[in-house]
Structure 1
Amino acid sequence: MKIYLIPTTTTKHLVKNLSATEKNLKIVFPDLSRDGKRLFPDGEIYVKILKTRRLKNKRVIVLHSGAPKPNEGLMELELILQILRDNKIEPEVFFAYFPYGMQDKVF
């Protein structure tokens, strides 16, 4: 069964190793804006996934890491998940590093 993996910008370095070792893995990178950047001039992130039809009824995993800037990364993750859900795709999310995990107790 082919697995479709969508990495966020914080996990692109991990994808190189995965794609070389996993034969059933298809990497789907979010697309850039027309000027080739992932940010709007005001600093907002731009996320677009083309050809979402090929992901329907497939196993889709979004690979994300909360490091180094957890707040910015969570916004990118939310936008990717919203695009997938809007297209009736139910993704799984894998965190390489889970942000705010150390705040489970009051200091």
Structure 2
Amino acid sequence: QQGRSVYLEMECQACHGLDGRGTGATTLMNDLADSRGLQISSTDLTFPQSFKNGGTGQDIIRTVLTGLDGTPMPSYEAQLQGRSEDAWHLVNYVLSLSPTH
């Protein structure tokens, strides 16, 4: 549950949805665009094979801390500064969303 708390605190649900399936309000309002201005959808966090930066724990922490260039995924490094345990709770929560986990 600690990871879910961090997920909600960082407002991941705005894009990825409460269930992580990429159905957050921002996505449903068609309000996401890539760096070229093309409309895109949020990543479905229940399917780590589709993650642009890789689906391992190390890949996810890197994406959370650095963001994902060319996408609306921002860096959360400042918000998680000095909170490495919370960052890993978030990673483990994201991994737990996959039915194959």
- TM-score, normalised via structure 2 length: 0.29
Larger Rg: 1
**Which has the larger share of strand?**
1
Please state which structure has a larger fraction of its residues in helix: 2
